[in-house]
Amino acid sequence: MTDLNTLGLAEARDALRAGSTTSKELTAACLKAIEGAGALNAFVHHTPEIAMEQAAAADARIAEGDAPAMCGLPIGIKDLFCTKGVPSQAGSRILEGFLPEYESTVSGNLLGSGAVMLGKLNMDEFAMGSSNETSVYGNAINPWKVDERQLTPGGSSGGSAAAVAADLCLAATGTDTGGSIRQPAAFTGTVGIKPTYGRCSRWGVVAFASSLDQAGPMTKSVRDAAIMLETMCGYDPKDSTSADLAVPNFEALMTGDIRGKKIGLPKEYRMDGMPAEIDKLWADGADMLRDVGAEIVDISLPHTKYALPAYYVIAPAEASSNLARYDGVRYGHRATLDAGDGITEMYEKTRAEGFGPEVQRRVMIGTYVLSAGFYDAYYNRARRVRTLIKKDFEDVFAAGVDAILTPATPSSAFGLGEMTDVDPVQMYLNDVFTVTVNMAGLPGISVPVGLDSKGLPMGLQLIGRPWEEGDLLSSAYALEKAAGFVAKPTKWW
């Protein structure tokens, strides 16, 4: 067989069932690839011993005929997921030394099905960032390269995207609060799906913005995304926002037959200054779907222009509440105190040392918009805007549209430092095409479709009806087949 770490989940699953390889062989190949890819800084906590033990157990399950879909498949886990006995820092200094006594529901679902954990993956601190440059571990590097510049793999799930694109693992978990699965997927030529809010449990996932956060898979193909998503999903009574709905067989629903499906193109996504390459990619994607039988229609989502400012009120507000629990008292980093310092000084010094500049910025914004004098002017107004955005989508779907096609990002991957050295708002604009999906709680997927003039991958986003991930994956599969994207980064690391 080819290098085993280059396989996708579906290929590796079939090879394991056929007996042509073992989980131990797959895992060893991935561990070797990780060992040689330190320059990418994708994995930040390595668990090779755990991985090999899990691989041996998976091989035994397969031999006994007890092999769920993910059994024996080596994956990476984003550092935002709490993993029992394994460091879980959310990319932040303030959680230094934190070893959870419990397993997040999503990672527990994967490990319970026999998946193999290779280690924890790099990410923006507390998932706040679009370039992986706010991480306490230093930034992950995009394996795609066009000159001597190092490029961002996107954020916040940058380590997950880089690891999958570089074949360090077969797939990885990510989380998406405003585009943190879909934007990195687009930047690295991989597939990333954010399911409907409530489809995957948030229990044991370090919270950023509780009404927006959602876990999802990052994979090498749409079929792989369907396989992994099914295992990640499921009702969880420990999460009050978890939906008590049956999880369908997403792979079986993924026919790719979209004849007669109505795909909408929102006019509001044609923004001033959008690069011609992105506009052409979008038009080409629409043509591809039309050629395989879909009906392409123009639609309007009139409140789109308010989505980004409303998001950057709601998300920091929820973050300021969620991050108040990090005080240095019970776990994580605690500052060294001077004689005479009391609890107030301990809080101040610990948080000043433990939280990076971007997290501090968002906590301050969030605290401001929740303060007595500004609550109605900012937070309540943003919540009303969110309701209008959600209704825009409801109206479009009620009119018979099955899915919505948009760009995934306003550009291909940019150089590290290019955005952080300017106004932070320029970085926030990377989320312009993705935040509406989180605000409305809808499923969205990024599919790689082509390369730009520099040879960097670009993705398109499909947005689906709530709870219709199977239908969305089928449309994404049709787009993937039509695009025929097979490019891989040239190894330089």
Catalytic residue set? 78, 156, 180
**Helix crossing, 469-483 with 276-291: angle to 10°?**
100
162 phi, psi to nearest 5 deg: -65, -40
Peptide bond into 156 cis (omega under 30): yes
CA distances from residue 345 to 6, 323, 324 in whole angstroms, order as listed: 51, 18, 15
CA angle 158, 239, 215 (to 5 degrees): 20
Q: Which of 427, 302, 440, 459 is nearest to 358 (CA)?
A: 427
Question: Could you give the maximum distance between any two Cα atoms of the chain, in Å?
Answer: 74
Residue type, 365: I
Bridge pairing between strands 444-451 and 457-464: antiparallel
Which residues make beta-bridge pairs with 459?
448
How far apart are alpha carbons 22 and 371 in whole angstroms? 57
Q: How many helices (H) and strands (E) does the chain have?
A: 16, 11
CA–CA dist 241, 201 (Å, integer): 8
CA atoms within 13 A on the CB side of 435: 24
Rounded Cα distance between 50 and 249, Å, is: 29
Whole-angstrom distance between the N-terminal and C-terminal Cα of the chain? 23
Q: Which two tokens stand for residue 74?
A: 């080596």
Q: Are 77 and 201 in contact (CB under 8 A)?
A: no
The interaxial angle of helices 48-63 and 23-35, nearest 10 deg, is: 160
